């Protein structure tokens, strides 16, 4: 039975991927810093210290790794801490999973990710993409959504909740080539990411423009 690892399994997207994979004839290892309640029967949790993983850690054998780790500057409280989570921890998971046999990787990044960007957030996201592409996975699928909406994961800050409501108005003006900047429901992204279990070899960068039925 094939095995997938999910890093960020308690977050907005990762938790939805976890539920989506519970429907498959598939074994799942959910990485988490604390115990996850009500896990699907096909899922094993692995409590992990990401700092230890960075140094001398390892991961169980797997075929596919989903990387959904991420934080915000507000939560991280500094650029240094943001880099540790969104770049160093995420890259450590990718590296250790590859060493453990994974040949497929699926990553959630961000619209506009670019290692040469002057924007700090987008530059870090781009640096992670570049580093992952150097690891040698047979199949890499990178999703670049805009603002994510939906339920699940951590409690949202008040400012984020306000933006989620305002996003529906903003989306009206995102037409044509700007459709990629529309907000999208995390469940839609999770379903699309889960579908990469059957992805063929190669590198695929995916901008996710929601259709009306994708609004959740």
Strand locations in 79-134 (E): 104-108
pLDDT at 207: 65
Domain of residue 16: give its range.
Answer: 3-208
- pLDDT of residue 214 exceeding 50, the answer is no
- The answer to whether residue 98 sits within a structural domain is yes
Residue-wise pLDDT tens digits, 39-66: 999 999 999 999 999 888 999 999 999 9
CA angle at residue 87 from 43 to 166, to 5 degrees? 80
- The answer to whether residue 213 sits within a structural domain is no
HSE-up of 206 (CA within 13 Å, CB side)? 20
- The answer to whether residue 36 sits within a structural domain is yes
CATH of the domain at 84: 3.40.50.720
- The answer to whether residue 214 sits within a structural domain is no
CA distance 106 to 108: 7
- The answer to whether residue 132 sits within a structural domain is yes
pLDDT at 213: 39
pTM: 0.85
Kindly report the backbone phi and psi dihedral angles of residue 68, in degrees, each rounded to the nearest multiple of 5, phi listed first. Answer: -125, 25
Share of the chain above pLDDT 90, in %: 60
Reading the block at residue 212, the tokens are 């009306």
Number of domains in the chain: 1
- The answer to whether residue 122 sits within a structural domain is yes
pLDDT at 1: 81
- The answer to whether residue 216 sits within a structural domain is no
């Amino acid at each position: 039975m094939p095995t997938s690892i999910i890093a960020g399994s308690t977050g907005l997207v990762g938790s939805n991927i976890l539920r989506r994979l519970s429907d498959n004839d598939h074994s799942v290892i959910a990485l988490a810093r604390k115990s996850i309640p009500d896990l699907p029967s096909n899922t094993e949790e692995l409590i992990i210290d990401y700092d230890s993983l960075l140094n001398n850690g390892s991961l169980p054998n797997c075929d596919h790794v989903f990387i959904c780790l991420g934080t915000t500057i507000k939560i991280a409280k500094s650029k240094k801490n943001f880099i540790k989570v969104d770049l160093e921890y995420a890259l450590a998971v990718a590296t250790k999973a590859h060493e453990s046999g994974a040949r497929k990787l699926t990553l959630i990044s961000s619209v506009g990710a670019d290692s040469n960007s002057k924007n700090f957030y987008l530059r870090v996201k781009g640096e992670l993409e570049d580093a992952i592409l150097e690891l040698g996975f047979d199949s890499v699928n990178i999703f670049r959504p805009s603002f994510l909406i939906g339920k699940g994961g951590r409690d949202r800050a008040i400012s984020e909740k306000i933006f989620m409501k305002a996003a529906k108005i903003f989306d009206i003006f995102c037409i044509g080539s700007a459709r990629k900047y529309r907000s999208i429901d995390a469940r839609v992204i999770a379903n699309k990411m889960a579908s990469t279990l059957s992805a063929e070899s190669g590198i695929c960068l995916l901008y996710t423009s929601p259709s009306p039925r994708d609004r959740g």
